[in-house]
Structure 1
């Protein structure tokens, strides 16, 4: 990733990463001082970002579920396709931060012309009905197939309409069953003007302790509510553990032997 791209991801990310790595490399005698300095710097960066109206996101632990270069395009175009899985109970800002950081490291790996990254939740499969609620972020950076020049990342991808999408929420587990229950209702109750009556019936039928939201923008019908985001609206914090995991992701993308990239075997 070139200098301009790193700037686009955020100066705060680079500063905090360098501080974290520096703290880890010092001897035990300086550990308290190093940790204190790093924490102070991070807090200062966060405070500055907050005064600028930015959202604060922290890179989460993640599991690498899919990582491969798609080179089956007829014009020689290459696309790095990846999926990582994170906690559904984390904050929306952290889902975005994790997605943005991981996509940046994959771009920096330099193995394809573009990157396509999916971030999914750790409590749902991505297939079938449940898949409607599985995605927490999706990022596409780099040229598309029609713009292919053969030049692999890193390059300045900011002018190639990057897509940053992330979720506002993780739809409740029950949303799947509520959706199924709604589909089983008499047709007259499936109109939006009958949503309140349908919600009462489903609540009673399923034994819920709340009235389900059956509006078109609610979690049952719009899932996790993915929306387009702007990278510059966020300040991304990357701790030492996160840096280590991101480095591992980059190494795997560059050809380090793959060990366990499989997501859980779901039974829903």
Structure 2
């Protein structure tokens, strides 16, 4: 089995500005996720953050990334357009992308999906979330039961302004009554994309085993497959034609 090279990208602002968030993630959300993934055989983990040069997503880093995990919230507008375009091109060329929680409002997610994905209902009151598995045969749901619960989480509610997913893996129900499409897959070009909703920064979501298991499963699912070569541009006919 070949190694899957994973880069965990985190805006890394809440942890610097909010002591409560820092107490939950003293080394940042990116390291909480990365530390878990580093324990999975066959994964090679790197991290990158917004305030690094080129947001940590240099040509070299992107060229050596098979799956990119993206967490952002406060500073979507600060992500440079040229970096967004470089990442988008890598996804179209086959790099996997996992967008977490408030990354739904990122430039990258919106450009790949072609709509205003930041539009939804929300309430950050720390309600019970029950995440239902609606596609139990999917590899992203491997090892889960019918559902799992997150004791305290931010509510996201429909309607979520996204295109209909290629596959809907999870639906969330919240204590206040709302529901949400919480696990959605897409294909864009040769790349595979997974949106996974849980992850509000003021709750220890990325310490919960079920949430981390989903992310680990998603990394393996999103990893590139070589597939057929893509050829474009003007081509000579394979067989002689009447115009020859």
Fold match by TM threshold 0.5: no
Higher relative contact order (CA 8 A, sep 6+): 1
Larger radius of gyration: 1
Q: Which has a greater percent of helix?
A: 1
- When normalised by structure 2's length, the TM-score is 0.27
Q: Which has a greater percent of strand?
A: 2
